Structure 1
Amino acid sequence: MKNKTKVLLISLLLAVIIIPVSIFGYRHYQPKDDDFTGIKLPAAPAKTPFKNVNTDILYDEKKWTTNFTHDGAILKADGWYYVFSTDYMVGQAPTPGIQIRKSKDLIHWEFVGRVFEQVSDEAWNWTHGNTFWAPNVIQMNGKYYLYYSVSEVGKRNSYIGLAVSDKIEGPWKDQGEVFKSKEGDGNTVNAIDPDITIDKNGQPWMVYGSYFGGIFITKVDKNTGKLRNPNDQGTLLAQRKDMAGIEGPEIMYNQKTGYYYLTVSYDWLEDTYNVRVARSKTITGPFLDYNHKDMIDPSDDSFNTGNKIVAPYAFGKDPGWLGTGHNGLLQDGENYYLIHNARAGEDKYWSHLHVRKIVWTDDGWPVVSPERYAGEVEQKVTESNLIGQWQQIVLNRFDDAMAGSTKLQLLANGEIKNPNPKGKSHWKLTGKNTLQLSLYDPGVAPKNYWNFTVKVIPAWDWENWRGTLVFTGMNQDGTVIWGKKIINK
């Protein structure tokens, strides 16, 4: 009896010790939803969130920062990042003259001033346009070459001009016409939106055009900055049915992949504007998207060409962003960036400059961060970093309306909790920051699953004003998905 009592007392004592320890261990060593161990998150871009609509700065250009940027082109010079952009503001006609902004870090921007005070007589006489559109700047021959557009709204009466300066902030000397277009000239191109790209052999090219005839490319004389053949509109690269919205072309070359990448913007600049990308081994095309569709597509399917990598969006209950288009591209060492204008969901006439980090997929496609750049770098993540609540946005190529977010929960057992049956959707970390998402969608997805391969990177959560993790990537049909981890308060 004494032995039984002794055993019982020992058992009770062990229970008193083991159960609390187990509970403590479970609570403190189980995976946490907001575990950022080993991750360096970016710092806050400012002490308090920026206002997307701020009438206090309307007539104070020194406080414009990213406000009223449209059709921006980006260049790094003298240790600064410069953006040159279209004449634009809210509330009244903009002051003529290409706007200039600069930044040391791609985060904090200051308004520098303008190039010119009015369009040239030559440009005015050809177009009757009184403001500048969609500039582009390149350094060549030890000087800076600025290409600009002047146009009559809604017509092909357009003019691309050139200015040259020894210094990036000017003064600039106008060199006159590069190329111009007009109804009845025998061409189809609209002479606006120039972008100068130097190919892998050192030859400069001008890619340009919008609506009407589509996007063209032609050689530039590297000694003068003018066209090699000023009477030839060049080679057609991209076109949509019935001259539907396509404009703002840019081309960049990635030496690692061996491809040239063409970006263009589709649809209307105030709301449905979105950025598409395709690639080619040669700068004159053909440029094909993820599904091997040629960007020259006059068929009914022309809305479905190009990988959509930026589009109108809203995370959670945030008003979001419209008019997310007309991008610029920058390679800075090993890093690539995409800039674009975006219009505040609260008031679509307030346009801002957005800068996003480009991330490269394992098969050589550029995708961009779902959040604006805040100094983040790619780094290794662990499974525990990923467990928790996320918001996801799918950039559907068939629908250019603002895309909202839905919830996505990554569970510790590798399952994804969503409206689909338990145990049907899964996730797996397959590289230092590569994540596989298998989302069950019976009867819709190929073999019932959408298989997304995404890159996970740190980011600043501009909507909730804190550091977090995001992901960006594509599924098996080239549709892009964005995700953002939501931290429990």
Structure 2
Amino acid sequence: MADLKQAEITYPSPPPAQIAKPVFLPGEKPSEPDKFSLWGSHDPALFRDPVSGLYYTYCTGATARRSADLITWENIGKVVEKPPQESLDWVGDEGIWAPDIIKVGDEYRLYCSNSTWGVRQSNIFLAVADGPEGPFIPRGVVLKTSHDSTVNAIDANLIADETTGEHYMAYGSFWGGMHILKLNPETGLAAEEGIGTCIARRPQWADGAIEGPYIRFNPDTGFYYLFVSYGSLKSDYNIRVGRSTSLTGPYYDPNGRDLTDPEDDRNEIGFMIACGYRFGDGQGYMGPGHNSVLRDADNEWYLACHIREHDFRTPQISTMHIYKMFWTPDGWPVLNPERYAGEKTQPIAKDSLSGDYERIKLAPSVPQGVLNSVPMTLAADGKFECCSIIGQWEAIDETRIVIRYGNVIETLQLTPAWDWQRGEPTLAMTGKDQFGVAVWAKKLNS
């Protein structure tokens, strides 16, 4: 097999060495974290400041990080001191969860959740600043829920309607599902009473386990895309997507199923674009979720989420992964299976494609466990082989291939990548089949 490194492909440069995961010992005070560490990132909201061009993430704890390249991040500390008094009186705790940010005119608006674990006595409050690094000063409470409510007021996401310019807030966690509420664009506070419109939910057998809604509009497809997290953040978290021509829904998956449909005995509603995974004998990861999505100034797309190293035996600290996001020919988002390292989309010669790969098909299951890769071979003569499955593959243009076996047709995007497990460049593939099941693969060097 030809050495992949010799192919005429521009691969990303080796990223900076990763900061070691902190070790927490019983009875000992944790050491001060490295300011460039991503460990402890949770519920990251990814934002590009249109003024400076710098990137920011805002995480649970009201902590912010700054980056010039989406690869190296510097912790700039807490940007909201504490919730407003009305929020504190309602919740009885100062915890700030899952911020999301939007810039309106010259004002930066940070929407924060104030709650405690496992209850609906929660609220979302707005804090404002004249810059992305704050300090953000609380303006007021946007929405409250109580133990008697059918929904939970946490996990805010802000978006404006592309046609009307009206502002909306998507929100929700477990219980009654994800809702969307109209806001007053002048104040940033609620423009209507009530809980808004339901846009996604889960069945009772799944404990209603859905949260972290995030909506973005793609002008190239004409759809709004709703990203949500299914499952438990401590184990089987996974990211699903639906789309709609209307901001307020309904949102459908690739098979035309409404994300509000509670009849989902097989855990199949929603296009799953990420879940727990392990390539080969490398480090496994579990619980990717509570994502955010960025469309950059150059029309490149990225997804940020928190994730944990795979270990069901003991709790694991979360970290942040950022993935480059692509769009399938029929208008669905898919992720580079490897974390972003600066790779650029480019033509890939057909003679660079044949060889051995590790492959994961992201098939929904009950429960949604960690998926392990299996061997895949693309032969130079067009033969595809994966375990006992044999089919054909062909390049359909300079950036995509099609794999056919049985009645399955998979269309995959080609991209250079950095193999973080092996510490070397690789060629990756991502896409989906005609049934709405995502596929990841990465090439093995000789």
Same fold (TM over 0.5): yes
The reply to whether residue 408 of structure 1 matches residue 376 of structure 2 is: yes
Q: Residues of 1 paired with 2:161 and 2:364: CA distance?
A: 30
Name 1:73's counterpart in structure 2: 45
Residue number in structure 1 paired with 2:304: 339
Counterpart residue number, 2:324: 357
For residue 304 of structure 1, give the secondary structure of its aligned residue in structure 2: coil
1:148 and 1:209, CA in 2 relative to 1: closer, same or farther beyond 3 A? same
| CA displacement, residues 84-107 of structure 1 (integer Å, 9 cap, x when unaligned) | 0002xxxxxxxxxx1110110000
Q: CA separation in 2, counterparts of 1:238 and 1:112?
A: 34
**Secondary structure of the structure 2 residue equivalent to 1:83:** strand
Q: Which moved more, 1:196-205 or 1:35-44?
A: 35-44
| Distance in structure 1 (CA, Å) of the matches to 2:6 and 2:385 | 21
Query: What letter is aligned with 2:267?
Result: F
| C-alpha displacement of 1:64 | 4.9
Given candidates 115, 118, 123, the residue that maps to 1:154 is 118
- Answer yes or no: is the 8 Å Cα contact 2:123–2:144 preserved in 1: yes
Which residue among 463, 466, 476 is the counterpart of 2:424?
466
Deviation at residue 417 of structure 1 after TM alignment: 3.0
SS for the counterpart of 2:289 is strand
Q: Which residue of 2 aligns with 1:37?
A: 7
Does residue 124 (structure 1) correspond to residue 88 (structure 2)? The answer is: yes
- Unmatched tracts of structure 2, length 5 or more: none
Residues 427 and 438, structure 1, Cα contact 8 Å, conserved in 2: yes
Q: Secondary structure at the match of 1:126?
A: helix
Secondary structure, aligned partner of 2:265:
helix
Considering only aligned residues, what root-mean-square deviation do their CA atoms show, in Å?
1.8
Aligned pairs, number:
434
- Secondary structure of 1:75's counterpart equals strand
- The letter for the 2-side match of 1:240 is R
Give the Å deviation of 1:52.
Answer: 4.5
Secondary structure of residue in 1 paired with 2:351: helix
Matches within 5 A, 1:171-190: 171-184=135-148, 187-190=149-152
TM-score (norm 2): 0.93
SS at match of 1:359: strand
CA displacement at 1:237 relative to structure 2: 0.3
How many angstroms apart in 2 are the aligned matches of 1:256 and 1:318?
Answer: 36
Amino acid at match of 2:442: K
Instruction: Indicate if the aligned counterparts of 1:209 and 1:216 stay in contact, CA closer than 8 A.
Output: yes
Distance apart, 1:420 and its partner CA: 2.5
Q: Does 1:456 align with 2:414?
A: yes
Other structure's SS at 1:297 match: coil
Partner of 1:444: none
C-alpha distance in structure 1 between counterparts of 2:283 and 2:33, whole Å? 25
Deviations 1:249-293 (A, max 9, x none): 000001110000000000000121100001000101110000000
Mapped partners of 1:284, 1:335: distance in 2: 25
Secondary structure in structure 1 of the residue aligned to 2:267: helix
Preserved contact between residue 161 and residue 247 of structure 2 (Cα < 8 Å): yes
1:23 corresponds in structure 2 to none
Q: Whose radius of gyration is greater, 1 or 2?
A: 1
State the shift of 1:298 in Å: 1.5
Using the alignment, how far apart are the partners of 2:264 and 2:393 within structure 1?
36
Q: Which residue of 2 aligns with 1:10?
A: none
Is 1:298 aligned to residue 265 of structure 2? no
SS of the equivalent of 1:175 reads strand
Secondary structure at 2:42's aligned position in 1? coil
* 1:37-436 mapped onto 2 (5 Å cutoff): 37-46=7-16, 48=17, 50-52=19-21, 58-77=30-49, 78-87=52-61, 98-184=62-148, 187-201=149-163, 202-229=165-192, 231-242=193-204, 243-301=207-265, 303-333=267-297, 334-345=299-310, 348-399=315-366, 400-420=368-388, 424-436=390-402
Rounded to whole Å, the distance in 2 between the matches of 1:49 and 1:295 is: 37
Q: Per-residue deviation at 1:474? A: 0.5
2:44–2:305: 8 Å Cα contact kept in structure 1? yes
Q: Separation in 1 of the partners of 2:438 and 2:134?
A: 40
Q: Distance in 2 between matches of 1:460 and 1:319?
A: 15
